[in-house]
Structure 1
Amino acid sequence: MSAFIQGYTLGLAYVMPIGTQNIFVINTALTQRRSRIWLTTFCVFFCDIVCALACFYGVGGIMQSSRWLQLAVLGAGSLVVMWIGFSIFRDKSTLEGDEGKSELSAAKVFTTACFVTWANPQAWIDGSMMLGAFRTSLNGADGARFIIAVCLASLSWWVVMPTVVSLLQSRINNKVFRAINIICGAIIMAYGAKLLVSFVRLAAVMFG
C-alpha cells in the first residue's frame, strides 16, 4: 500500500470518530449561517492539521515527558471542555430562521476550535505514538506523502461532514434539535469529566 493511501485512510480513521470536534462542528452546522459554518470548518481543520503535524514530528513526546505540563493541560482542558458541553446542553435556541439564532463571533469560533482540538494531552500523546510510528517507518519522500495525505483526509472530512449536516437541517425540527443538543452536550461534559478524573489521578501520583 502506498504511503499516500496509508496516510489518507489513517487520517480519516483518526478524525471521523465522534468527539468534541465533530460535535462542535455539527452544532455549528445546525445553528449558524453558512459563512460561520465555513469559518468553523476552516478553524477546526487548521487546528487539526497543526495537531497532526506536531504529533507526526513528535511534540507529544515532550508532553509525555513533562508531568507538570500534562497536569496543567488536563486541569484547564477539563474545565473548558465541561463548560463547552454545559453550554450546548442548556442551549434552547431554535431553527426558525437565521435571525433567531445567536451568531458565534469569529474569536469564539477560533478559541473553541482550539480548545476542542488541543485541550486533551492524551490526544497529543496517542497521536504522536500513532503518527510518529509511521514517520519512523517511512523515508523522507514517503513520509511527506503520508502526512500530506493525513492533512487532505482531515480537509475532506471537515468539508463534507458539515455540508451534509447543513443540507439535512430542513429535516430536523426543534424537538429533534433540542434532543441533539442534550445528547451532544452530555457527551462533551462526559469527555470533560474523564479529563478531570485523569487530572485528579495524575495529581495524586505527583503529590501523593
Structure 2
Amino acid sequence: MDLLSVFIQGLTLGLAYLAPIGMQNLFVINSALSHRLGRAMATALVVVFWDVSLALACFFGAGALMSAVPWLKNIVLGLGGVLVICIGIGLIRSEADLSCDKDVNQPFAKIILASFVVTWLNPQAIVDGTIMLGAFRATLPPGSDPLFIAGFATASFVWFNALALISNRLGSKINVRVLTWVNRICGIVIILYGLKLLSTLVQL
C-alpha cells in the first residue's frame, strides 16, 4: 500500500463515518439554519476541532494499547470488523431524523461547550471510534499512521464545513429523504470497510 493510498483510505473512511446524520451533524445543520454564514462556519470549525481531537485520542490510544498487548490486535480487528458492518447495516435500514434538542442560538462560548458535549460526551462515538480506528491502525504499514489520521482529519474539516455552507445556503431544501439516502450510501461504504477488516484478520 503506497502512502497516497493510506491517506485516501483515511479520507474516504472519515467521510463515510461522519456523513450519516448524528449529534454533531444535527448541531452543525441547526446552527447553519439559525445563523448567518460566518457564525455557521465558525461553529463548524469548532466541531472539527473537537472531532479531530477525539479521533486522535481513539486512534493513538487504541494503537498504544495494542502495541503493549499484541494479542489484542486480532480481537480488535474482529470486533472492529463486526462493529463497522453493524453500523453500516443500521445506516442502510434507518431513516434520517432532523430533530435536535440542542440550542444553537446562544453565546459563542456556549456553542464551544455544546459542541464539546455532542462530541466528547457521546459514549457511542468514543466506543465506536476507538474500536474502528484502532482496528484500522492495526492494518496499516509501519510509519503510515500519520497519513491515515491526516486523511481522517481532512475528511472532518471538509465534511463539517461543507455541511455548514450547504445547509446555510439551501435551508429548507435539505429534507429527511435526501439525508436518508446519504445514510444508505455511507452504510454501503462502511460495510465494505468492515469486510476489509475481517479479511485482514483472516489473512493474519
Cα displacement (A) at 1:59: 5.8
Indicate the SS of the match to 2:44.
helix
Q: CA RMSD in A?
A: 2.8
The residue type equivalent to 1:3 in the other structure is V
TM-superposition CA deviations, 1:100-121 (whole Å, max 9, x none)? xx95311111011001111122
Cα displacement (A) at 1:135: 1.4
Q: Distance in 2 between matches of 1:139 and 1:19?
A: 31
TM superposition score normalised by structure 1: 0.60
Q: Distance in 1 between matches of 2:162 and 2:170?
A: 12
Q: Does the C-alpha gap of structure 1 residues 3 and 60 become closer, same or farther in structure 2, counting only changes over 3 Å?
A: closer
Flag the structure with larger Rg. 1
Q: Distance in 1 between matches of 2:142 and 2:63?
A: 20
Give the equivalent residue in structure 2 for 1:120: 122
Structure 2 unaligned residues grouped into runs of 5+: 66-98, 177-204
Q: Distance in 1 between matches of 2:7 and 2:32?
A: 30
Task: Map 1:75-94 to 2 at 5 A.
Answer: 85-86=100-101
Q: Distance in 2 between matches of 1:61 and 1:141?
A: 14
Give the equivalent residue in structure 2 for 1:6: 9
When the two structures are aligned, how many residues end up with a matched partner?
140
Give the equivalent residue in structure 2 for 1:43: 46
The residue type equivalent to 2:16 in the other structure is A
The residue type equivalent to 2:137 in the other structure is R
Give the equivalent residue in structure 2 for 1:19: 22
Q: Distance in 1 between matches of 2:105 and 2:46?
A: 16
Structure 1 unaligned residues grouped into runs of 5+: 63-83, 89-101, 181-208
- Residue 139 (1) aligns with residue 141 (2): yes
Segments ≥4 residues shifted beyond 3 Å: 59-62, 84-88
Identity among equivalent positions (%) equals 43
Deviates more, 1:102-111 or 1:160-169: 102-111
Q: Distance in 1 between matches of 2:147 and 2:63?
A: 21
The residue type equivalent to 2:127 in the other structure is I
Q: Does the C-alpha gap of structure 1 residues 143 and 158 become closer, same or farther in structure 2, counting only changes over 3 Å?
A: same
Indicate the SS of the match to 2:144.
helix
